[in-house]
Amino acid sequence: GQSLEQPSEVTAVEGAIVQINCTYQTSGFYGLSWYQQHDGGAPTFLSYNALDGLEETGRFSSFLSRSDSYGYLLLQELQMKDSASYFCAAWGAGTALIFGKGTTLSVSS
């Protein structure tokens, strides 16, 4: 089967750094994506890693280790507006993007 595991909830304070981990098990693997979703609205794309290593985009970074079937999303200088659900998603065999169940991030002041 194909599955992605990520923590269900993470809490942090403004200005802090938080890391959301994702482990995956897929039949075939092409890359790992991250999406953000506010209050059940349209998911928005954050990042995509096809190769091992760290990709940095502003306050957000994403990491992938193909040998460990593991990745993470790193959010720095947290702001209240970062409170949302974060989903990792893997491109496996075939054409379907498989999503994890999501991590709810709560940022407090």
Partner 1 sequence: NAGVMQNPRHLVRRRGQEARLRCSPMKGHSHVYWYRQLPEEGLKFMVYLQKENIIDESGMPKERFSAEFPKEGPSILRIQQVVRGDSAAYFCASSPTGSYNEQFFGPGTRLTVL
What is the closest distance, in whole angstroms, from the C-beta atom of residue 15 to partner 1 in the complex? 28
Residue number, 14 or 101, with CB nearest to partner 1: 101
**First-to-final CA distance of the chain:** 41
Residue number, 16 or 97, with CB nearest to partner 1: 97
The tokens describing 10, both together, are: 């993470």
Residue number, 12 or 31, with CB nearest to partner 1: 31
What is the closest distance, in whole angstroms, from the C-beta atom of residue 87 to partner 1 in the complex? 6
What is the closest distance, in whole angstroms, from the C-beta atom of residue 14 to partner 1 in the complex? 25
Taking residue 28's Cβ as centre, other Cβ atoms within 10 Å add up to 10
Residue number, 95 or 109, with CB nearest to partner 1: 95
- Three-class DSSP category at 2: coil
Taking residue 89's Cβ as centre, other Cβ atoms within 10 Å add up to 20
Footprint of partner 1 (CB under 8 A): 4, 30-31, 33, 35, 40-45, 48, 50, 87, 89, 91, 94-102
Q: How far apart are CA 100 and CA 73, in angstroms?
A: 13
